[in-house]
Chain A
Amino acid sequence: MKFGFFRYARHICLLNLLWLAEAHGQSSQIVKEFHKDQGKRNRDEVYASINRMVQNPLLASGLVSGTESLNRSVESLMESLFYSIMDQDLRVSATDNMDITSEYKRDVHTANIGGYVVVDRFQLGPGFLKNLGEIRGLPLTFSAQGRLFITNASHRSDAQRKSETQKNGFWPNLVANWLGLLPLMSYLLPPSFNPEELYDPVSYLSTPFLFPTNIEEALKLPLGNVRSYGLSGNASFTLDTAGRAAKSLQSSLGLNDLDLTIPLSLFRDGEHRITILRRDESHVWLSLSETRRIGGSIAMPLGKHYRILQKLVSWWAGVSAPISPISFDLEKSRVYRIDELYDFNLLLAQAQDAFVKALHGDFQYVRALTAQEPKPEKLANGIEFQFRRITTRDESGHKQERSLYVAQKQKQNRFGVGESVTRDPDGEFLTLEAEHTAYDRAWNVLVGSDTVEFHHRLSIPVRKEIGPDKRSLLTLVASTENPIYLTASLRIIDSFVDTRDYHRTLGILRRYTGLSLKEAPEIPTYAEDLRQNLIREQALANPMNDIYRQQITATHLGKLASNAHIYFSHDIMLALARLGPSVLWTSLAKAFELDSEEWKEKGPREGFSYYTNIAGTYAAYPLRLLGLEDNYPDIALEAQRLRRGFDSLLAAKDPLAIQAAYEKLLDSPHPLELIQTFADMAKGLAVPILVGFDAQTQGRGRDSEDVRKSKEQFAQLNDKIFDSPWPIPPLKRDQSIEEKLASFSPGGFQNAKKTPQLAQIKILLNRSKGSPEARLQCLLTGLNMSMRHGNIQAYIRIEQHGSLNLGRFVLSEEMLKLSPDLSSISENALETSSDIYRIDMNGPEGLSNSAFLDKAIAEGGSFDMHVSLSEEGDSWGPEQIMSFSIENGILKNL
């Protein structure tokens, strides 16, 4: 009776609402802001600083040396099932020892949230392999290969894919999407599936013909696209040292099923490459690079290729299932490299002429025109010499990988010390460098990859003079305008972040920078209402089915990318070096999460605990080499190394000694703990620090109240900047060169032209009096609009925010040409170069296939709307997401 009354009352209320809506018309609106004001700071400057990272070292090395990049070196389930269809090679034997190979290869790297770097490569050339005999029963081989290669690297996003779809028309679009299979797979497969891996096979197959040969073709390149061609070659002697002892150890461990080799190699390789990058409508950068490497390496891959589900269908060979529990690679080499870069304005005739010559490998003309040759013929208009740099460097690195088919873990460390002689338009300068990069990547078949990258770099400006005894002397030329400082950068990208990952990321950033990041929202790991529901629903279930029971898991939030930069000046480092040993031990103990009070006393005494800790380090070393252990706190050895480094720094009188001291300080297997120690020791000193976040929430299913609250908190982190009170130092000359070089890895490309940014999305639902039809509209406020009435385009994708699922259910995906909504433009908008655009989402002028919106207005529904803006469709601003629902004809923010 009681329930009946309430049900009746509810109906009355609903009827009343409908009557009110009918009689007076009904409207509702929701708003989401994206770019928050950063206070008095120059926002563009701050964002530029935040994004000043550091090319992906592996991507860069892959592009430069043509070596196999990390993410595809061990196959995963997704690769063996789907992606490998793109990697094809054809091998033809010429003699017993020689073959000719042509190879297509695609690598996709995560550049940032929603962005990828797709690198397509075609190469062709001979390979030579000869068995030279045996040394003490171990086989010795000689191998050599030469390759002509062409690469096409581009920065891509969903918006760009859709933009191409609309330009290409029906049939090319059908082929690019594998006759519709690609969208279907994106829908059905887990979030780790990346459609970019398979998109557009036709362009992929045309990679060998994509390098432009004339001005017209160069001007047709998409903005930010990097294309290159060149020759590479290598020769090596390899001794497989997996002798009887290693084989018997393998047997005693019960690993006979797996294949083991331990190749010890001496190698020499080289590459000559010409690369172009389209910067804007008229300007193209063209670079020439020469690289030579000589060195040695030892590796130990242990694994096997299995095949499963063979003969399920008689003609199918089954699925390749490679397992590689252990794989490591140690390498030491000397690198000699020349980089030369020119900027061409291709609208000017003289630049066109020089460009075509350079494109075909003739650089004499452009060098003469830009006064790089002793006797310039004439100075040219439209050609700007950027720099010529000669680098000599000693590098060492190690790489560990573990692949269990559905999950992978990869680590790479590279340390380089050397010098660069650079000539730019202001003259020649010399720098000594020490650089450490560390890259960690974890991948699993469900949620894809997350990456953590450290990049620590020091450059010392010096001048070379010839002394009386004809020996060259280096003199420090650092000054207030050109200071020495150590730059420490960290980038973390996670495309499927849950609350546990979020806490981990915040924890790493807090440790790395020493900032408290108090304003970062505190989000509970679990949604309490979900936990209670699971108990309620499953407590009375049959205990024999407990194995299928669903556990409460950390709340999924969305995507998160974060960058941190710290600048330690040389003076600060000297101040740290002068601090007493107890300060160093205290900070190190904190970094390794040990008892700081205890180690503050025990550490400097170097007693039993000290030597026990060192013994532990040596015991853990083999496991660390195999990638099986990386958490042992090597406090004693790290303290020893840092003390030596600090002592060397205090004693250093000349630039080479300073470089050697920093080499000692930076060459650490614990980059996080190292910078945490420096940051802790430098507390209160003038250390500029900058931390930035890019956070996007994702709707996955009908969220509970607590989950929604967590996502709202997470969304507050987007575009947030945290910093220390000290200003960021200006870019040094050699750093500017580094940034220009980084542009050639597409992840590092920063568009000279600002891309439009979404500042606000407003959605309005209007139902006019007496009309049965409701109108759903969207108002987009964009920033950085340079063309007042130009070709502004919007990419809009609407996905179901409902009871789905492993994949992504796309309801509508569309590119729209926009015209500013003049009625909504204020005077303020003109000052801030912002525009407002009105888009009909349903109705006759609405989105195509928008019937689902009409249905939602009538029956209710929840959606995620992805929006990105572009001018001319070449480069796109960041994609923003707004989640909303329509219930009883009323709009609600999700």
Chain B
Amino acid sequence: MEGCHLYSTDWSWCLFIRVLLLLLIAQGNADLAASSCQLRGTRWTEEKPYSACLTTDWQALALKDSYANKNESYFGVLGEAYGSISFGHVLSLHLKGVIKDMPQLDFDHSISMRQTEYAFLQLGNPIVDSIYAASGIIDAPFGLDHRVHRFSLPGRTDKLWPHSVRGSRGSIRWRDDLLLEFGAHQNQRSDLESQQQQIISGRLVQNIDLLHGTRLIGSYLSSADYMEREVGLATLVHNEGNRTSLEWVRKTSAASDQSFEQVFRFVHEQQEDTWLWNLTMEELSQDSYIIKYGAQKAWTESFSGLVCLQYQRERIEPSHKHLTLLLGIDYQEAKSWEGVKL
């Protein structure tokens, strides 16, 4: 097994890699879109049926992080489940949870996570209604945060986009091209009550008829006491099933005139037959740079293999350069039900 040089001599690791590589180059024809819930007909807006949707996504992952002459290997699972019940497009309930358990090989250390990502009630549906609102555990309407492998690869920019926060948000759409979203939330950074923070945020989205849809997004976020503020600009382009985004976010604090946190991020996802390629370049000012290149290959409607290589260069001590390899098998399933009209 010494020949299997992805830093480890562990036989299970090598076997897993070999099987994955074989599967990645295997031929297959699958429609990746089949892993999401879809309506059966196109008369949904008129007929307003009850509908329910359940999607699950399970990934068996192997991750290898190499830095400063150290190698750390993790092997485990990541699961995401999303369910919704909708009463026409008027009222709907949505739940999403994430579970992650990746023990480190050779050491008694594990990366674990159990999180309710979303649990909210929504009035209206953005696809047909010009006004809609949601309340519960939701994302604050701020920025774009286009990320590939959000839960499976390490990142350092989580704090700039408030995800899974308790609160409410509303949205108003003018014509088809302008959308204003606003919300008030409690950003719970830790279990300590002293670190809970009231935030307000807003996002203005302009849709433009460029290629297969382009969005310009301007965002603002502030703590309720205005001590911390964030502004963001982003653009997202759809073209032939591909997505490209460029985003800038800057966070300043009234406590310090000099310090700020700032992110530039470029993401491109390209679909070619059964392959989905992605490229990410990210700069977190005075902190780190990341380049990420990955691919996902669909074998069947549900099964796919994924691979991603990430290079991260830290600018703060100890200034490590991380090279991270992620390999995995992904299983996705989607079920939807539609009932009689209201």
Contacts and interface: CB of A to CB of B under 8 A. Distances in A.
B53 to A, nearest CB: 5
B336 A701 contact: no
B146 A548 contact: yes
A544 B238 contact: no
Nearest to B244: A806
Interface in A818-844: none
B41 A701 contact: no
A805 B125 contact: no
Contact of B207 (A498, A548, A551, A804): A551
Contact of A309 (B86, B134, B138, B283): B283
B157 interface: no
A547 B211 contact: no
B291 to A, nearest CB: 7
B209 to A, nearest CB: 4
A540 B84 contact: yes
B256 interface: no
B240 A533 contact: no
Contacts of A803: 240-241, 271-273
Interface stretch (B10-18, B32-40, B63-71): B32-40
A540 B37 contact: yes
Interface string A448-481: 0000000000000000000000000000000000
A311 interface: yes
B220 to A, nearest CB: 15
Contacts of B134: 543
B37 A312 contact: no
Contacts of B86: 540
Given A312-B289, A542-B118, A553 B51 contact: no
B297 interface: no
Contacts of B62: none
B89 interface: yes
Contacts of B331: none
B96 interface: yes
B138 A547 contact: no
Given A540-B86, A541-B36, A546-B126, A535 B44 contact: yes
A538 interface: yes
B45 interface: yes
Contacts of B126: 543, 546, 549
Interface in A96-121: none
A539 B84 contact: no
Contacts of A540: 36-39, 51, 53, 84, 86, 336
A309 B209 contact: no
A625 interface: no
A384 to B, nearest CB: 51
Interface in B203-233: 203, 205, 207, 209-215, 217
Nearest to B53: A540
B276 to A, nearest CB: 12
B59 to A, nearest CB: 18
A550 interface: yes
A312 B209 CA distance: 33
B39 A539 contact: yes
Interface string A201-234: 0000000000000000000000000000000000
A312 B264 CA distance: 12
A806 B269 CA distance: 11
Interface in A311-355: 311-312
Contacts of A390: none
B199 to A, nearest CB: 17
B125 A539 contact: yes
Contact of B205 (A312, A406, A547): A547
Contacts, number: 130
* Chain A at the B interface: SS class: loop
Task: Give the bracket for the number of chain A residues in contact with chain B.
Answer: 35 or more
B127 A535 contact: yes
B242 interface: yes
A372 interface: no
A544 B122 CA distance: 10
Contact of B281 (A309, A446, A500, A804): A309
B112 interface: no
Interface in B113-168: 118, 122, 125-128, 132, 134, 138-139, 144, 146
Contact of B127 (A311, A538, A548, A556): A538
A728 interface: no
Contacts of A538: 127
Contact of B39 (A536, A546, A547): A536
Contact of B42 (A190, A532, A550, A700): A532
B242 A805 contact: yes
A69 interface: no
A549 B209 contact: no
A537 B146 CA distance: 20
Interface in B265-318: 270-273, 281, 283, 289, 291, 313, 315
A709 to B, nearest CB: 18
Nearest to B122: A543
B209 A308 contact: no
B240 A539 contact: no
A174 interface: no
A639 interface: no
Contacts of A806: 239-240, 242, 244, 270
A529 to B, nearest CB: 9
B307 to A, nearest CB: 20
Interface string B17-40: 000000000000000010011111
B231 to A, nearest CB: 13
Contacts of A583: none
Interface of B: 33, 36-42, 44-45, 51, 53, 82, 84, 86, 89, 92, 94, 96, 118, 122, 125-128, 132, 134, 138-139, 144, 146, 176, 203, 205, 207, 209-215, 217, 235-244, 246, 264, 270-273, 281, 283, 289, 291, 313, 315, 336
10 contacts: A308-B283, A311-B289, A500-B209, A532-B42, A540-B86, A540-B336, A547-B217, A549-B126, A553-B213, A805-B242
